[in-house]
Every structure is written in C-alpha cells, then in structure tokens.
Amino acid sequence: MNEQRKDILDMLAEGKITAEEAERLIAALERDQPAAAVVGARPKGKAKYLRVEVYSFDNGEPGRVNVRVPLQLLRAGVQLAALIPPRALERANAELHKSGVPFDLTQLKPEQLEALVEQLDEVTLEVDQADATVRVFCE
C-alpha cells in the first residue's frame, strides 16, 4: 500500500474525513498515478520460463515436482507439429475419436500453437488441496 493511500485511510479511521471523501481521494490518487501502479508489473511478453510446481504429501513424506521450461523451448517444440506426417495425424485423430475426444489434429496449425505460447505468460494456475498444491505460472 502506498503512503498517500495509507494517509487517506488513516484520516478516515480518525474520522477527519467521511467515507465518500476517502473514496473520492483514492479515486483521484489512482487517476494521478496510473503509470506508477504498473511499474512493478512485468511487461507483457517478457516471461522467459514456464514453471510447474507441485507440492504434495504422500505416505507421510513431502513430495515435490519443480519444473522450469524455457518458453523458447515450447516455441521450438511447436515447430515439431509441422513435422508430424499426415498419416500419423489421421491415426491419432482416429484414436482420439475412439477415446471420446473428437479433436481434429490436422486443423491445428503451428501459428495457432505459437499464439497460444505467446499468451502463456499471462497464465497463472493454482490448485490447492489439503494434501497437494499445484502452481503453473510464467516468470
């Protein structure tokens, strides 16, 4: 919390200003400092790694999986999709269909996967359970 916002909340707590006045002051403060608010934020598209962290507690012992994958590696891996022979894609499609996943892999273009990887740096996934925590994010 920045100093000015804290001062406003202090004045509100001390009864020097009303809640409406505090709200107006905070709104004015946010209007004046839109750039400052994002200084600490990571610029879009600057993430370098995809991180997957899993912490669990199995059989009375703590377990962990900590994977760091460069996004560059994902981008390179996407190019592999273009190398898969059409025959293999058709067979994979048939198997997917048999398993109840009607997904046409031949329609999946490397450009689409590339766009997906580009947007990954905004993804943060957290799953919390009593005995396990999973976190997927970019850094």
Partner 1 sequence: MPQSVTVRVRRPAGRPVRIWVPVLPVLLVFSPLVVLAGLVAAVACLVYRISLLRALGTGWRIACALRGTQVDIGQGRTGVLVAFR
Minimum distance, C-beta of residue 70 to partner 1, in the bound complex (Å) = 4
Strand, helix or coil at 48?
coil
For residues 112-127, b (16+ Cβ closer than 10 Å) or e, as one string? ebeeebeeebeeeeee
Residue ranges that bind partner 1, judged by CB under 8 A: 48-49, 58, 61-70, 72-73, 75-77, 79-80, 82-83, 85, 87-88
Q: Which is nearer to partner 1, 8 or 78 (CB)?
A: 78
DSSP assignment, residue 43? P
Cβ(133)–Cβ(127) under 8 Å? yes
Q: Which is nearer to partner 1, 45 or 63 (CB)?
A: 63
DSSP assignment, residue 60? T
Minimum distance, C-beta of residue 56 to partner 1, in the bound complex (Å) = 9
Minimum distance, C-beta of residue 123 to partner 1, in the bound complex (Å) = 19
